[in-house]
Amino acid sequence: MNLRHTMKGRRALTAVALTTGLVLAVAGCGGDGDDKDPKSEGGKSSAPEKNDDTAEDPKEPGEGQDPTTVQGNGISVTVTSAVREQGGFLTLSGQVTNNKSGIWVGSEWRSDESELKKNGGSLAGASLVDSTGKKKYLVLRDTQGRCLCTVFQGGIDQGETIDWFAQFPAPPEGTAKVQLQLPTMPPANIEITEGE
């Protein structure tokens, strides 16, 4: 008998939760019933109102710059941000898309360095070139030899896009542009933004 009361109580709570969720969903989708816009004639608005607060908000680091995309061997790499962080490093991030047939594991992007080879399919083989300062920067690693970058565990399925990141030593403050180099891919010219 105790079990029967427990089941009745659970069903009642579930019904109340579902009903509450539906009411909130319907209320969120509906308007306030006033279709008239006091700023326009005839009650119809030809353009959405602008929120003046957003115009004054500062941009996030890396925001507002055009993404850079390079393609090679059926793989597409997009760099969406390159942010100079406090502590002397540069964080790159973006997406990689597998346009090939089958799973792509990223093994050709492995590093040639013996310490980083154990990272497998990853961005460990990536480098940054500062042509102004005539320097090449390799991916950072932790004390156990793991790259501070995305490792493609299990690979990327055909048509799938995943996010990636990689951290490098930051070029000098005056350097605003660098080139990302990945094995088997054309170089990608990217602009550095300053972090907070």
Give which of 105, 89, 86 is closest to 156, Cα–Cα.
Answer: 105
pLDDT by position in tens, the chain (length 196)? 554 544 455 555 444 444 444 444 444 444 444 444 444 444 444 444 444 443 334 334 444 457 899 998 899 999 999 999 988 999 999 999 999 989 998 888 887 776 676 777 888 889 999 998 899 999 999 988 888 999 888 899 999 999 999 999 999 988 999 999 998 899 999 999 987 6
- Count CA atoms within 13 Å of residue 148 on its CB side: 13
Are residues 120 and 149 in contact, defined by beta-carbon separation less than 8 angstroms?
no
Structurally, the chain folds into a number of domains equal to 1
Domain-located, residue 9: no
3-state secondary structure of 8: helix
Domain-located, residue 105: yes
- Report the pLDDT value the prediction gives residue 112, as an integer from 0 to 100: 73
- Report the pLDDT value the prediction gives residue 65, as an integer from 0 to 100: 58
- Report the pLDDT value the prediction gives residue 96, as an integer from 0 to 100: 95
Domain-located, residue 12: no
Residue range of the domain that includes 185: 68-194
Domain-located, residue 119: yes
CATH assignment of the domain containing 87? 2.60.40
pTM (predicted TM-score): 0.64
- Report the pLDDT value the prediction gives residue 79, as an integer from 0 to 100: 96
3-state secondary structure of 39: coil
Domain-located, residue 145: yes
- Report the pLDDT value the prediction gives residue 9, as an integer from 0 to 100: 52
